[in-house]
Structure 1
Amino acid sequence: MSLPLETRIGAHRVPHVSPSSAILSPLAIGLATVLVAALLLSLPISLPIGAMYWDVVVFIDGGWRVLNGQTPSVDFFAPVGPLGYWLFAAGLEIFAKPQPLLLAQWMLLPVTLAGLLPVLVRIDRSSRTLALALLLPFLLFQLLPTNLEQFSSYPGFDGFGIYNRHGTQLLYVLMVALVFERRQRVLLFVIAWICAALFLSKITGFIAAGGLCAFAFAAGRVRLSTAVGALAAFAAVLAGLEATTGVVSAYLGDIASLVGMNEGVLISRFVQAASIHFGIFASGCLLFAALLFLDSRPIASTIGAAARHPLRAATWVALLDRNAVWLGVALLAGLFFETQNTGGQAFIFIWPVLVRIACDASRHSQRATVAVLVLVAAVAMPPFVNVLHRSARAVVGQLMYVKVPAQNLKALDSVTQRPEVIDRAAHMIDNYVAYPRTYEALAADGQLPIFSLYSELDFQAAWLMTANEAVDAIRAYETAHGVRFETIMNLNFVNPFPYALGRQGTPFIAIGADPFRAIPPPNARTIEAVRNTDLALLPLCPVTVANQTIQKIYAEGLRDHVAVPLSRCWTAYIRPGLIRGN
């Protein structure tokens, strides 16, 4: 059996070792991290805008809707589960003007640390080094809002892939417990806690977690009573939410709609995920093969014993609870999770398994030990290097950056970028206005101005700048005509305007509105909500096929709205009653 170190810890055979310093304990570090994060969220911090940064506005839109009494999935269609919007709403209540990307990244800390620290506190009593080896890498990924993938040549922080990062961070906590925790009560809590969080945030992460938990049960790590208890606790949480909010059934309906809109060939997505993360996955496969080779004799012996006594559970546990098998299962779970992702911190939850393998490497010959440790490093280093390198570039680059003019957008104005990028954004806005037919022709042909438009930093800066202009234009129109738009809808991917103006978002529509993947056909209730919307905005800088498609999707509800040129980059569709009242 592998990993004698972890087994001794679980069985309490290692004598108590006094902590060298209480300040370096996992509990102290974890609590200090939460306090520092809260302090930083209270300060006026700006971050360099990155590719597809506008994804963070999905959390702003959803969180603001929650604060105004809407329930995710029940009152609006969302691309992910409700947990992130609830947490973000709490953050908006606690902090006056938090940097939104940092809030979206750090709001999960209370959830993840609640599952991680009980395990690490016990490990710390026996091995401070092991406890910190599990905690510090996790905190690095939890604190840095950076993906492994790079979509822009210039440095910036990633506003996209946030929910994917949340998924891998929660899976990291679960894996620590499954690999290193032997107390069944703690396992019951962590499994129920993390699986509930994954279900309510990223459903593919929940499915991956289910596979890991099933394997841990088969490998003898989780007793039947623990599995049943965790399942019961998980079901109780969902039942309580369903009884009080109706969110669970509505969320499952949203998932079914998303699956229907995103049907594809799963095998091809596995190949794509493996190719995108080839360095990690290929190195993991080599490590898997090396471990199988090194343990080939005991594995063959255990297989023979299982064949002779197929009903003897201990034989199957001996076969499954091995470093190689844990690694193989983790790689498959990680690959499955990445089949549905565009950006994130892929495969970071394999780290606890790698720590287990490194702890056990010395039982092999000297050459084999070196080979195993080299392969462990090959699997572990790409995420660390990519995230640290990209984050360091963004921090250093910001020294020469200037604020993006977005002062009307509340917390969204806390972004910076290179002066030349902002200058280009201003010139591109002028170009969109001066030559609209060019972009209309491209949209009619189903094309964007450039293939990677949404990844371009100048587009993200220009989007914020034009949204900033729209707020001024809305206020000016309201003052000039003596009206007030209480409900505001944006015929665009995201909608910052209810938050920026303190109004309501149109209920029952999709947020994170990708018309090709994430807007279900509107039903009668949705059409009626759009019909009752005071103001719908259509962005023109530039005209895109996506925005035109969103307009077509909701065209029935907007049929009676009156089109009014609001500003150089926006057309307003105003509810007829407000026009007649002028």
Structure 2
Amino acid sequence: MQASTETSLSGKQNGVGMTLLRQPIIPFALVLACLPLALVVTLVMPIGPMYWDHYIYLDAANRIFDGQVPSVDFFAPVGGLGYYLFALWIKIFPNGPPLLLASWSLLTLTAPLMALVIADVQKRSVPLAYALLLPFLLFSILPFNTGDFYPYPGSDGFGVYNRQICQLLYVLAAGLVFVRGWKTLAAVTALCMLGLLFIKVTGIAAGVVLCLMAFAAGRLPLRAAITSGLVFVAVIGLAELSSGIVSAYANDILSLVLLNDTSLIPRLLQAASINFGVVLACAFLCLALFLIETEFFEKAKAFAARPGFAAFGRFADQSLLWLAAFILAGLLFESQNTGSQAFIFLWPLLLAIMLETWERKGPSPAFAAVTLLALSAALPPAVIILQKSARAWIGSANNTPLQSHNLKSLGAVSVRDLLNVRAERMRRSYIDDRSTYEAVAASGELPSFLLYSDFEFQSLWLQSADEAVSALRTFETDHEMRFETIMTIDFTNPFPWLMDRHAPKYIAIGADPYRAVPPVNDEMNAAVAAVDVALYPTCPPTTARLQLLDLYEPALAATHRRIKLSPCYDAFVRNELLPKP
């Protein structure tokens, strides 16, 4: 009796388990529910190349909490949606690692949309739903790029918004290829396109290519296209009427275009060379599909003989053309990037191509060739991200947590001991031989060609910032005053967030003077002149910092006095806050 009861219980448990597995939405929800466990505590992240890139999210969130609107009140290198999502998540998880918050906050948008896709697909095929869901979770949860920018393993703190665009394109591609319900497809298309627009405008160029391909092939029905288009326009109109953010964003985009006026062809070739393996595999797959799809010319002739939308749709709805459009979309987006999860959105299409080839050819050499080439394009991005994640976290076993007092969750990073030693040695050299490094920067060179990727530069930046906050607090105590507005003459400015203060309006975030700082105007000059303190890092002087100093110092000259705040920071303090002579 006991044995039969145990068997019965086991059978019920297995039955429940199988029921759960037959509903991919349920495991999806369970995985998402586990993510906050990594955010309620301050998880120590292994530092990585260009790690400071994601500090701009802290600056943006702090400005948003102050009531500032991206593009309206400050110049931003990308759209404001990612910053708003990050601000929401850091409000809920104040101790969460900023890098994970910046990366995972996009799930606020992508998770519900992917759930719609999965709910539609699982009605027809549970394995197919899992085949779409599992890669999505991999790319969304592991915040790593598919490209390498440094030989040592570490966290990828840069290119967050580029990865987010790729994840949105993945959801859009999955919807366009596999969703059958037109209402679901309209919702996924509209919201993905809005997300692409308001995270990074180059993403919508890729999204338009995907949507045009789906519409031409008849996979995006006219009523779904019209509905999604109306929703898209309505949301843009409401956003503009309520805040003016759309026109301000358009002005920022125009400024970026003028600052980065380079020919598209070289950038496309560069994108193709960086992602050569994927592009080559897809090129061979296109050739294989051309040879397999013998009706290609027949459909072309039929369309030429009787032109019409239906005939064009039959011609356009061929795997070869779908793949060519997807590759074009990927190259357009990657031509404007540094750091990304390049071409991950190919997987839904490649999966559909393999399934279609199986249905038409069965277990044949043609199917084997298509599968081999499709997997050659799809697997490398996933394998690279898994490998980089494993290397970063396994390698962090040899790391030591950074010691800090004022950095909040920003300081929860770890660095190898030998790099900490190097950082301290370089710090001493930057301090003792400052004139030498200033001369190097003035000549147009950096101390190291890969300076911003060097781990010791990133750890030294954090240590210097920690020291600068202590020096600011000491200055305030000694002079019985308080700095309310803080800016930096540097790439990133998390100091207002670190000290619970304010950032001035109109100062660009992610201040790369070569790519993302607009020309100074009267509004910006007035904001700089009114700031309480402007921090200028000197360990080391760099070409970008010198250019930013040239940009902002004229506005500071009459209203501020330059003092040595700490060994690695000078400060421009507003005259009214200094003791009277």
Query: TM-score normalised by the shorter chain: which range applies?
Result: over 0.9
Residue 337 (structure 1) aligns with: 333
Contact residue 152 and residue 457 of structure 1 kept, 8 A = no
Q: Is residue 2:305 matched to residue 1:308?
A: yes
Code of the residue aligned with 1:308 in structure 2: it is A
Q: Secondary structure at the match of 1:554?
A: helix
Residue 361 (structure 1) aligns with: 357
Q: Secondary structure at the match of 2:436?
A: helix
Residues 90-116 of structure 1: per-residue CA shift (max 9 Å, x gap):
112111211010101100112001111
Residues 534-574 of structure 1: per-residue CA shift (max 9 Å, x gap):
00011000011110100111223212210011011111101
Residues 411-432 of structure 1: per-residue CA shift (max 9 Å, x gap):
1011111111112111111110
Contact residue 487 and residue 534 of structure 1 kept, 8 A = yes
Residue 503 (structure 1) aligns with: 501
Cα distance in 2 for partners of 1:149, 1:277 equals 9
Using a 3 Å threshold, how does the CA distance of structure 1 residues 475 and 247 change in structure 2: closer, same or farther? same
Q: Is residue 2:296 matched to residue 1:299?
A: yes
Using a 3 Å threshold, how does the CA distance of structure 1 residues 581 and 26 change in structure 2: closer, same or farther? farther
Cα distance in 1 for partners of 2:66, 2:424 equals 34
Contact residue 434 and residue 540 of structure 2 kept, 8 A = yes
Code of the residue aligned with 1:220 in structure 2: it is G
Q: Is residue 2:324 matched to residue 1:325?
A: no
Q: Secondary structure at the match of 2:118?
A: helix
Residue 442 (structure 1) aligns with: 440
Code of the residue aligned with 1:371 in structure 2: it is A
Residue 548 (structure 1) aligns with: 546
Cα distance in 2 for partners of 1:255, 1:33 equals 37
Residue 130 (structure 1) aligns with: 128
Residues 484-517 of structure 1: per-residue CA shift (max 9 Å, x gap):
1100000000011000000001110100000111
Cα distance in 2 for partners of 1:468, 1:24 equals 51
Shift of 1:122: 2.1
Shift of 1:314: 2.0
Residue 10 (structure 2) aligns with: none
Written as runs of structure 1 = structure 2, the 5 A alignment for 1:55-454 is 55-295=53-293, 297-311=294-308, 313-362=309-358, 363-364=360-361, 366-454=364-452
Code of the residue aligned with 1:306 in structure 2: it is F
Q: Secondary structure at the match of 2:539?
A: coil
Written as runs of structure 1 = structure 2, the 5 A alignment for 1:444-483 is 444-483=442-481
Cα distance in 1 for partners of 2:215, 2:85 equals 31
Residue 11 (structure 1) aligns with: none
Contact residue 42 and residue 98 of structure 1 kept, 8 A = yes
Q: Secondary structure at the match of 1:407?
A: coil
Contact residue 431 and residue 539 of structure 2 kept, 8 A = yes
Q: Secondary structure at the match of 1:42?
A: coil
Contact residue 41 and residue 98 of structure 1 kept, 8 A = yes
Using a 3 Å threshold, how does the CA distance of structure 1 residues 289 and 244 change in structure 2: closer, same or farther? same
Contact residue 296 and residue 315 of structure 2 kept, 8 A = yes
Q: Secondary structure at the match of 1:519?
A: coil
Cα distance in 1 for partners of 2:17, 2:391 equals 36
Q: Secondary structure at the match of 2:75?
A: coil
Contact residue 406 and residue 412 of structure 1 kept, 8 A = no
Residues 206-244 of structure 1: per-residue CA shift (max 9 Å, x gap):
111011111211111122222121111011111111111
Q: Secondary structure at the match of 1:563?
A: strand
Quick check: 221-230 or 52-61, which moved more? Answer: 221-230
Residue 6 (structure 1) aligns with: none
Residue 572 (structure 1) aligns with: 571
Shift of 1:36: 1.2
Contact residue 42 and residue 409 of structure 2 kept, 8 A = no
Using a 3 Å threshold, how does the CA distance of structure 1 residues 349 and 533 change in structure 2: closer, same or farther? same
Using a 3 Å threshold, how does the CA distance of structure 1 residues 478 and 23 change in structure 2: closer, same or farther? farther
Code of the residue aligned with 1:524 in structure 2: it is D
Cα distance in 2 for partners of 1:315, 1:581 equals 83
Q: Secondary structure at the match of 2:509?
A: coil
Using a 3 Å threshold, how does the CA distance of structure 1 residues 24 and 104 change in structure 2: closer, same or farther? farther
Q: Secondary structure at the match of 1:408?
A: coil
Shift of 1:580: 4.7
Shift of 1:483: 1.5
Shift of 1:358: 1.5
Code of the residue aligned with 1:299 in structure 2: it is F
Code of the residue aligned with 1:568 in structure 2: it is P
Residue 12 (structure 1) aligns with: none
Using a 3 Å threshold, how does the CA distance of structure 1 residues 157 and 243 change in structure 2: closer, same or farther? same
CA RMSD of aligned residues (A): 1.3
Residues 168-222 of structure 1: per-residue CA shift (max 9 Å, x gap):
0000000001000121111111111111111110111111101111121111112
Shift of 1:373: 0.7
Cα distance in 2 for partners of 1:400, 1:71 equals 42
Q: Secondary structure at the match of 2:295?
A: helix
Contact residue 50 and residue 156 of structure 1 kept, 8 A = yes
Cα distance in 2 for partners of 1:235, 1:559 equals 46
Cα distance in 2 for partners of 1:419, 1:32 equals 38
Code of the residue aligned with 2:574 in structure 1: it is R
Quick check: 517-526 or 220-229, which moved more? Answer: 220-229
Using a 3 Å threshold, how does the CA distance of structure 1 residues 262 and 23 change in structure 2: closer, same or farther? same
Shift of 1:123: 1.3
Code of the residue aligned with 2:301 in structure 1: it is G
Q: Secondary structure at the match of 2:578?
A: helix
In structure 1, list runs of 5 or more residues that go unmatched: 1-17
Q: Secondary structure at the match of 2:564?
A: strand
Contact residue 488 and residue 503 of structure 1 kept, 8 A = yes
Contact residue 120 and residue 180 of structure 2 kept, 8 A = no
Identity of aligned residues (%): 43
Shift of 1:149: 1.0
Shift of 1:23: 4.8
Residue 513 (structure 2) aligns with: 515
Cα distance in 2 for partners of 1:574, 1:98 equals 33
Contact residue 487 and residue 493 of structure 2 kept, 8 A = yes
Contact residue 85 and residue 108 of structure 2 kept, 8 A = no
Contact residue 443 and residue 543 of structure 1 kept, 8 A = yes
Code of the residue aligned with 1:78 in structure 2: it is A
Code of the residue aligned with 2:169 in structure 1: it is L
